[in-house]
Structure 1
């Protein structure tokens, strides 16, 4: 089962890397452009941030969120935080 989570986690990471990078970069540069009073650039960045530029403004945030949720679930599972600890028979 653990191998399956590694496989899904790796696949999700590859698929989600570019959209998340775009979201992070535009989210970081938007306040800078706004502080420098670059309204046209700030407007473009916010449209690019949500991919409204390509008509995906309604779906992109949901897909980003689902991808992050999947990465979070598979990543937490792989840490083995919620597994039962086995008693070592050598001490019994």
Structure 2
């Protein structure tokens, strides 16, 4: 069972990594530009349109896909961690 979850976790991680990195970096840069008045040569509105998926015309589904991808990674990761596995009783040594 863990082997199949590792396979799914690896595939899902590769697929979801680019949108998540893009979302994180543009979110951080937008904060830097707006709150700290950092001039990087790119307007905050453009960064925000990338952050929300508006530039790709995916603003309605982009956050949903990011969220579902993260939930999938959390689910497979927690399953592999053994936190929810059967507890085995340790035999006390007498």
Q: What's the TM-score, normalizing by structure 2? A: 0.87
Match of 1:68 in 2: 70
Q: What's the TM-score, normalizing by structure 1? A: 0.88
Structure 1 pair 85/45, CA: closer, same or farther in 2 (3 Å)? same
CA RMSD of aligned residues (A): 2.0
| Aligned mates of 1:91, 1:76 — CA distance in 2 | 31
| Structure with the higher helix share, 1 or 2 | 1
1:73-92 to 2 correspondences below 5 Å: 73-88=75-90, 91=93
Q: Number of aligned residue pairs: give it.
A: 91
- Stretches of structure 1 that go unaligned for 5 or more consecutive residues are none
Offset from partner CA, 1:27-65 (integer Å, 9 cap, x none): 111111112176x71101110001101101111100000
Deviation at 1:89, TM superposition (A): 6.0
